[in-house]
Structure 1
């Protein structure tokens, strides 16, 4: 089931794979060495004010962005992955997988591993240096992002099946059926915490699996559908729901450590940002809250004028938290009390924020990719 799915004849499987991944006859290729992280990785300090250094066209509403080496990968809602070389934003091509990409790809050595939401799409491995597909795993479509650990990549599909693939070959190491582990559709990226693979589904059910064999370690009913990516923090994992609840679950046992509930239980919460003993989470009601990681106590809250769907980005060196809303405004909030220290307006609906070595990447509707940099002298901080 790695290179070709056994339920399809070889010729059909190849044709399906080509149709899925090269439907636009476009591809991307990065320079040799561009994926290698520097010996001493750093992140831009992002001291405000920030200004727009460049803007690129994502060709559709952007989804998410992540940095590997000098390359920034950006997905969009029509199934493209754009590669831009930082800091200049030079285009390195576009890979078309044919449909809205919902989950985050990962880079494994020289391969870009992509979760494909199409039926019988599942996961592809694309060589970024050779500009070709080297393996495909066919199966149920995958809406959730991928999680990489060592030589394996962990996948949860839209039917609730969870499996581990070898990153280099796409061969299945193990898989667990929805009937065995009790999951339905999964939208949130699985994570590993304390050696346990933790997966949450769209009903709110959360399970812990053994990473070596996929056996069920524990299960938790949860407190509402989970769409935002989980966040592992030490001995626990933070779970944001679409019902105005933030949960802390013990990674080893699945025990519910605490729940923080919003007054409006229809609020969709983002994946939190964490600094020290505090978690910072934003919501579709425009709120941003600081939560004590140990107790779940709310420490402060800030109310903005518009919905927030992008996970906040913390800059602990400056004691700042960047948040962007659907009114097109980017805010820098004080980590200690939520006071607004700076803002930038008229960007477009902010969908995603990523801190990189070159600056703050902001993805906005209708179709823009921005790189924002500090007007102060460039400084670096360890990630």
Structure 2
């Protein structure tokens, strides 16, 4: 489904809402100039059993830049029990929660929380440090990128933070993003630069920003995104594409690393891609793209609130196939490149395994509730959190349930395997939530958990 001519949609928006929507902003006075071209891209192509960047000192959300959620070196125990848990989340906000992230050496687990705190524990749950930040309204929902002992993550105060992993000290904090409201996406790191999607409120729009990882100085931005972008940035250096998506129902792609705009793909809402725009921006109702795209086989894989799950060409943004699930899809898919299978979940209480090349369903498994977080796979096992409060392990070949662990609240983070342990986080159990958090009653805080094998 190619993107329609957006001139018609622009005409439906007030002139004030159009300011800055057409392309790149000028660099700020305190910024460097981003100047990289495709000729600067010097790397050895990596097989899908490895991840970008090929550096033992780096870990990122979903296992790397391609956001595959693929952990082929990890093993999931046959049966598990809870080793430790800490209260972390207290907000009724319905976005997926941050994923507890092990550092590259596996000795520290970074746990951003929606309280605005960032916690660090060792794998056995021993407290290392807790840092309270200025992100006190809805806190953190993204997951850090950890590079050379520094953890980078954005908050719902519209700022990007750099934390010293050893001490929890804030090394820098930047909110020089032209009056942002939030950063819900997880940063991507490549050769000294962080790439992150920023959210704005008036009008509801977004922007892609490049930030110097050492100093926090802003380098470049493109404010063409409409809607408030929650998905994280995905990068495939082999395909020379950087991809993100937004609440406007559009998947956006730039050449990488030059950041020349490449294409956009509009998902369809109840009235198709020509549906009525939201006031203040072209927003196709029912087509929101909430999940982070996975990049594999020269294609982007993502789901939409239009009930469809898509495979789109990284080359030109053309639709290669899509399936209709009948319910919203907003989770981050996982890809097993050895099986050539993509795993996705949705609001139909199920996880599906799809042939990555054709979209044909291989199996479907019931997980008792909506799946809005992120799927992960080791090649043998698929890990997933559910609205039924369960964390599930499914057989990757058949979809059969290996185990389920019940929790206090809904599990909306990625369920991450590392060194025989499983880490994830849940939402708080709250009362009186109506979309505003002022009068919410926290019945039970949402916890971050570590599971270990029973043996």
TM-score (norm 2): 0.67
Q: Which residue of 1 aligns with 2:417?
A: 355
* Residue correspondences, number: 335
Q: In 1, distance between residues paired with 2:128 and 2:340?
A: 39
1:195 to 233, 240, 255: 240
CA contact (8 A) 2:83 2:451 kept: yes
CA distance in 2, matches of 1:248, 1:103: 24
Listed one character per residue, the Cα deviations across residues 104-130 of structure 1 (whole Å, up to 9, x for unaligned) are 232233332221332xx3323333446
The reply to whether residue 230 of structure 1 matches residue 293 of structure 2 is yes
SS at match of 2:412: strand
Aligned to 1:283: 346
1:99 maps to 137
Which residue of the partner structure matches residue 115 of structure 2? 78
> Could you list the per-position Cα deviations for residues 159-178 of structure 1 after superposition, in whole angstroms to 9, with x for gaps in the alignment?
32212112112223322232
Question: How far has the Cα of 1:368 moved from its partner?
Answer: 1.3
Please tell me whether the aligned partners of residues 229 and 271 of structure 1 are also in contact (alpha carbons under 8 angstroms).
yes
* TM-superposed deviation, 1:189: 0.8
Q: 1:48 aligns with which of 47, 58, 78?
A: 78
Correspondence for 2:195: 154
**Quick one: structure 1 residues 256 and 338, their matched pair in 2 at CA, closer, same or farther if it must change by over 3 Å?**
same
| Greater strand proportion | 1
Map 1:282-301 onto structure 2 (within 5 A). 282-301=345-364
Deviations 1:69-91 (A, max 9, x none): 32211222222221112244433
Query: Secondary structure of 2:426's match?
Result: strand
Structure 1 unaligned blocks of 5 or more: 8-34, 377-383
Distance 1:37 1:230 in 2: 20
Supply the distance in 2 between the matched residues of 1:43 and 1:58 (Cα, whole angstroms).
Answer: 29
Q: Deviations over 1:245-285 (max 9, x none)?
A: 11112222222111111023xx2331112223111111122
Following the alignment from structure 1 to structure 2, what is the Cα–Cα distance between the partners of residues 226 and 346?
27
2:217 to 162, 171, 185: 171
Residues 234 and 89 (structure 1 numbering): CA distance in 2 closer, same or farther, change over 3 Å?
farther
The 2-side partners of 1:155 and 1:222 are apart by 22
CA distance in 2, matches of 1:268, 1:280: 12
Distance 1:213 1:314, change over 3 A: closer
- Of the candidates 94, 99, 104, which is equivalent to residue 64 of structure 1? 99
The RMSD of aligned alpha carbons is: 2.7
Unaligned runs of 5+ in 2: 1-27, 31-55, 60-70, 92-96, 200-204, 269-286, 429-445
TM-score, scaled relative to structure 1: 0.79
Greater displacement, 153-162 / 339-348: 339-348
The question of 1:117 aligning with 2:156 is answered yes
